[in-house]
Amino acid sequence: MESIEGKVALVTGSSRGLGREMALSLAGHGANVAVNYRTRDDKAREVVREIESMGSRAISVGADVGDPEQCEALIREVADSLGGIDILVNNAGIYYSGRVEDVDSGDLDRLFATNIKSAFFVTGPAVRLMKESGWGRIINISSVIGVRGYKGDSMYATTKSALFGFTKSLARELARFNITVNAVVPGFVETDMVLQKDDEVLAKVLEKIPMRRWGTSGEVADVVTFLCEGGSYITGQLFTVDGGFSI
């Protein structure tokens, strides 16, 4: 296993939920972490304080990752403050649902900007730094909905499945630079995004999970950290963490 102690990690959308757990997990293994947020600066500062209490360095950086100019500024600030970027977790994401005949173009644009375009906008400038250092780990956070599909979720599923092609193509492109690229594919995890569904829907979903329970943010974060420390010969792969839902 490689150590990530002293490595610099940027986790987009990490002021709460899955992103927060990923940031804390990486810090728990010695990484210095940039906590990205769009609006919740108070929550991001809380995560920074938790990381600092572990003995790692941390900063919070506000940026809308759907905006390419803000992404360039985000990468510059992280590199200037923490000394580079070694680990990038493209976690930022939003959710809209709706039948295909009712699709709102504004919602669709926002989904694509945050869920897929942001991966390009953040990864591009981060990769330049990784190539300079000769080491990098990129992890894209997708969703089991992108694997299996779900009624009423065609917009969201499309953006999340697009990350699979991005992951595999980028893995081939960057392998010779000692930069690995993988995707983690969470199932139904106890986060606000999942639990906002009504009780009847949640009960039906739970019946379809062979393990008969929701996943936890920590279980997803553990896979992300493993890919940073133990994944030196793993690239272009999709790691599903869903309790068997996609079987």
What amino acid positions are annotated as catalytic residues? Answer: 156
Report the alpha-carbon angle 100-103-106, nearest 5: 155
Q: Which residues lie below 8 Å from residue 89, measured CB to CB, with a gap of 6+? A: 9, 10, 11, 12, 14, 19, 22, 26, 139, 141, 224
Structure tokens at 106: 């504004």
Give dist(CA 36, CA 246) in Å, integer: 30
Give dist(CA 152, CA 124) in Å, integer: 32
Give dist(CA 118, CA 134) in Å, integer: 23
Handedness of CA 148, 153, 156, 158 (dihedral sign): positive
The DSSP line for 177-192 is: GTEEEEEEEE-SBSSH
